[in-house]
Structure 1
């Protein structure tokens, strides 16, 4: 069966194991059902996730023009401490920025390759942890806007990592950690503006991914250069497809590519 569409990050269901869906405009693929099956992918074009034009993808699924112009790619997306909607101050589109920034946000600890701190909208829990390939996570602060979450993350980055080692995550080279203990250790470093939002009494969330075989030496597929690839799918973790020959393909990093998938 042949499918064709523009890549966007896989949609997920928080079940055991996590369920993954690759969604196109008029169809979708339940990726879990493809485990241990051969998949052929071919690059056939580009489609900017904002303007929809067939233009080279620059970053985050956007063409260069949209990346620098559209509010969906503002600096505050990756650096929440730069949020200004709470001050009624516009970056690119104040109405959009208020909609996204002025809602409950979570500062969390997640363990995918190591314990890291991160920020997400409350509505994106546990989706954000799934996308990062975390096998355990816990909320530590719930604040009313993105700015407060951002300054909390910045303060805690001095004491805990803020990046995931994607190779360790994919190799499953991980150790269980006591995230409740980590949360208590970090409490004193939370900024004064956010201290009242500290969460005292929750427990860890555990996640299980549909992986039959972890790669020993993951080799990242660059479909823009290789144009075509075929392999047997043996796992899905984070937003990565894992193949039997140790090839891994990051769906999220390839958003905006138009692909043909032959199953």
Structure 2
């Protein structure tokens, strides 16, 4: 059976274990059903997620010109503390920025390779945690806009990590942590503007991933260098496909690539 389409990050369903779906324009694949099966991935061309042209992908699934023009790739996406819609100030497209920035946001702790702090829209819980490969997570504050979440994250980064080690996450070399204790310990560092939004009584969320075999020495598949790869699917964690030979493929970092997948 063969599928072809442009890669976008896998859709997920929070269940035990997480269900993963690769969505193409006219079809989809339940990736969990492919565990233990041999898959061929072949690079076909590029297709920018904004302009749809066959131009090399620069970042986030966009070609270089789109990346530096469209609001979906503005700096405040990665650095929420740069959000200005709450001040009625435009960066690239004020209507879009108000739509995204002026809605409830969560500052959270997630344990994927270590305990880290992060920001996401409330509507993206627990999807954001699943995408990061976190096996446990907890909310710290729920604020009404992205700016407040951003300055809270900046304040907490002095006391807890803000990055995930993808190799450690994929090898599953992770110790369980009591995130309630971490949350309470970090409360004192929340900025004054966000203190009233502290969440004092929630519990941590636990996430289980569909993995038959974790890699011992994960090596990343680069379709630019290896445009045709065949391997047996051994697991899915975060946005990574894990293969039996320790090859791992980050679907999200390959957004905008058109591929053929044969099973």
**TM-score scaled by length of structure 2:** 1.00
Alpha-carbon separation, structure 1, partners of 2:41 and 2:108:
35
Alpha-carbon separation, structure 1, partners of 2:130 and 2:161:
18
1:231 partnered with 2:231: yes
Could you report, residue by residue, the CA deviation over 1:40-88 in whole angstroms, capped at 9, with x for unpaired residues? 0000001001111111100000000000000000000000000000000
Alpha-carbon separation, structure 1, partners of 2:230 and 2:194:
49
Could you report, residue by residue, the CA deviation over 1:187-224 in whole angstroms, capped at 9, with x for unpaired residues? 00000000000000000000000000000000000011
Misfit runs of 4+, over 6 Å? none
Q: Give the match for residue 86 of structure 2.
A: 86
Alpha-carbon separation, structure 1, partners of 2:83 and 2:30:
36
| Secondary structure of residue in 2 paired with 1:107 | strand
Q: CA deviation at 1:225?
A: 1.3
CA RMSD of aligned residues (A): 0.3
Q: Give the match for residue 20 of structure 2.
A: 20
Q: Give the match for residue 58 of structure 2.
A: 58
Runs (5+) with no aligned partner, structure 1: none
Q: Give the match for residue 253 of structure 2.
A: 253
1:68 partnered with 2:68: yes
Alpha-carbon separation, structure 2, partners of 1:187 and 1:78:
23
Q: Give the match for residue 40 of structure 2.
A: 40
Q: CA deviation at 1:119?
A: 0.1
Alpha-carbon separation, structure 1, partners of 2:169 and 2:105:
25
Q: Give the match for residue 199 of structure 2.
A: 199
Q: Give the match for residue 160 of structure 1.
A: 160
Q: CA deviation at 1:32?
A: 0.1
Q: CA deviation at 1:157?
A: 0.1
Could you report, residue by residue, the CA deviation over 1:5-31 in whole angstroms, capped at 9, with x for unpaired residues? 000000000000000000000000000
Structure-to-structure mapping, 1:50-199, within 5 angstroms: 50-199=50-199
| Secondary structure of residue in 2 paired with 1:49 | coil
Alpha-carbon separation, structure 2, partners of 1:10 and 1:76:
23
Q: Give the match for residue 209 of structure 1.
A: 209
Alpha-carbon separation, structure 1, partners of 2:34 and 2:68:
37
Q: CA deviation at 1:184?
A: 0.5
Could you report, residue by residue, the CA deviation over 1:121-167 in whole angstroms, capped at 9, with x for unpaired residues? 00000000000000000000000000000000000000000000000
| Secondary structure of residue in 2 paired with 1:225 | coil
**TM-score scaled by length of structure 1:** 1.00
Could you report, residue by residue, the CA deviation over 1:208-257 in whole angstroms, capped at 9, with x for unpaired residues? 00000000000000011111100000000000000000000000000000
Alpha-carbon separation, structure 2, partners of 1:208 and 1:249:
19
